[in-house]
Amino acid sequence: MKKSYLTLLLLPGLVFLAAFMVIPILLTVGSTFYHEGRFTVEGYLYFFKDPYFLKILWTTLRVSLVTTAICMLLGFPTAYFISQQSPRKKALLLALAIFPLLTSSVVRSFSWTIILGKKGLLNNMLLSVGLIQEPLNILYTPTAMMIGLIHLFLPLIIITLVGVMENIDTDLVKAAESLGANRFAAFCRVVIPLSVPGLIIGGILVFVGSLTAYTTPALLGGKQQVISTFLYQNAITLNDWYLASVVATIMMVITFVIIMIMNMLANKLNPKG
């Protein structure tokens, strides 16, 4: 009786997900294999044979992976520092970490155009102190996209890791130190393995967000195309919904493959789960 009651509670959510997520995804994927009244894989062959499309795919993967790696490197020590603070300081630091999420990604991206432009704040500062002789060409490059995406998604990985790290029993670290490990060794042998679940979840959030982000790459990338802007161009500008569906399917497959790889890596780093 109790299980039936719990199943009924799940039913509205399952119906909603099926109607607005599962069915549209299946229709999108199915439309890529059935075009002009016949079964075909020409869309995928056309995509993977064209060097221009492959360049866009490589740029997207490079930007997403580098953004994820940098967010992990920056977010891990930051989250560890926050998790070791008193509850009052922790609440304040978490509020500061979450604060950028309250600002629209459009506003944040436009602010980076002001900072990174040839006559922007960064170049003016570097020129004034004599570190460079001519303005750096950062805006409208993959580097600019990475900077904007790191600013966009770094809070997500910090929040995720803090939630995991604050539940790590400090007695485990003390036990490792009592057995002869120094603080750094105890950190590497205890804290890092126990933080792997949060690191993997945060990494997946950052990677998927970077892979599918549109506003930041569109504003900071200029003519540098990524998968999301390419999909938008085909669907809205060129009205080529078939190729747009192929691109969307490729994005979904890449996402699932990366998630599987990250889960395998997590099992390697933390076999006991």
Q: Residue 154: its pLDDT value, please?
A: 93
Average of per-residue pLDDT across 212-219:
90
pLDDT tens digits for range 166-203: 888 777 877 877 777 777 888 888 888 888 888 888 99
| 41 in a structural domain | no
Among residues 34, 67, 92, 76, the alpha carbon closest in space to that of 220 is found at: 67
| 229 in a structural domain | yes
Among residues 269, 234, 267, 265, the alpha carbon closest in space to that of 249 is found at: 234
Token pair recorded at residue 104: 């629209």
Scan for tokens 């691109």, then name that residue.
Answer: 247
Phi, psi of 180 (to 5 degrees): 110, -5
pTM of the model: 0.87
Instruction: Give me the helices (H) in the chain, please.
Output: 2-17, 23-33, 42-49, 51-83, 87-98, 105-116, 121-128, 142-165, 170-178, 183-186, 192-212, 215-221, 227-232, 241-269
Q: Residue 133: its pLDDT value, please?
A: 84
How many domains would you assign to the chain? 1
Residue 2, pLDDT > 70, answer no
Q: Residue 103: its pLDDT value, please?
A: 84
| 128 in a structural domain | no
Q: How far apart are CA 111 and CA 121, in angstroms?
A: 10
Residue 82, pLDDT > 60, answer yes
Contacts of 62 (CB under 8 A, 6+ apart): 142
Question: Where is pLDDT greater, at 73 or 11?
Answer: 73
Q: What share of the chain in percent tops pLDDT 70?
A: 97
| 118 in a structural domain | no
Q: How far is CA 151 from CA 141, 155, 254, 266, in A?
A: 16, 8, 23, 25
Burial of 115 by CB count in 10 Å (0-12 exposed, 13-18 middle, 19+ buried)?
Answer: middle
Q: What is the dihedral of CA 213, 219, 220, 224, to 10 degrees?
A: 80
Collapsed DSSP state (helix, strand, coil) of residue 165: helix
- CATH classification at residue 166: 1.10.3720.10
CB 68 within 8 A of CB 203: yes
* Domain region containing 76: 51-102+147-269
| 15 in a structural domain | no
| 96 in a structural domain | yes
Among residues 161, 166, 199, 169, the alpha carbon closest in space to that of 186 is found at: 169
Q: How far apart are CA 165 and CA 27, in angstroms?
A: 41
The pLDDT confidence band at residue 269, using thresholds 50, 70 and 90, is: low
| 17 in a structural domain | no
Q: Residue 3: its pLDDT value, please?
A: 67
The pLDDT confidence band at residue 265, using thresholds 50, 70 and 90, is: confident
| 133 in a structural domain | no
CB 120 within 8 A of CB 114: yes
Contacts of 109 (CB under 8 A, 6+ apart): 148, 215, 216, 219, 220
The pLDDT confidence band at residue 270, using thresholds 50, 70 and 90, is: low
Collapsed DSSP state (helix, strand, coil) of residue 34: strand
Among residues 217, 58, 85, 82, the alpha carbon closest in space to that of 152 is found at: 217
Q: Residue 197: its pLDDT value, please?
A: 83
pLDDT tens digits for range 111-162: 999 898 888 888 888 888 888 888 888 888 999 999 999 999 999 999 999 9
Residue 266, pLDDT > 80, answer no
Q: Residue 102: its pLDDT value, please?
A: 84
Question: Where is pLDDT greater, at 230 or 270?
Answer: 230
pLDDT tens digits for range 17-55: 888 888 988 888 888 888 777 888 888 888 899 899 999
Arithmetic mean of pLDDT over the chain: 86
Residue 1, pLDDT > 60, answer no
Average of per-residue pLDDT across 98-113:
87
Q: Residue 147: its pLDDT value, please?
A: 93
Q: What share of the chain in percent tops pLDDT 90?
A: 25
Q: How far apart are CA 142 and CA 67, in angstroms?
A: 11
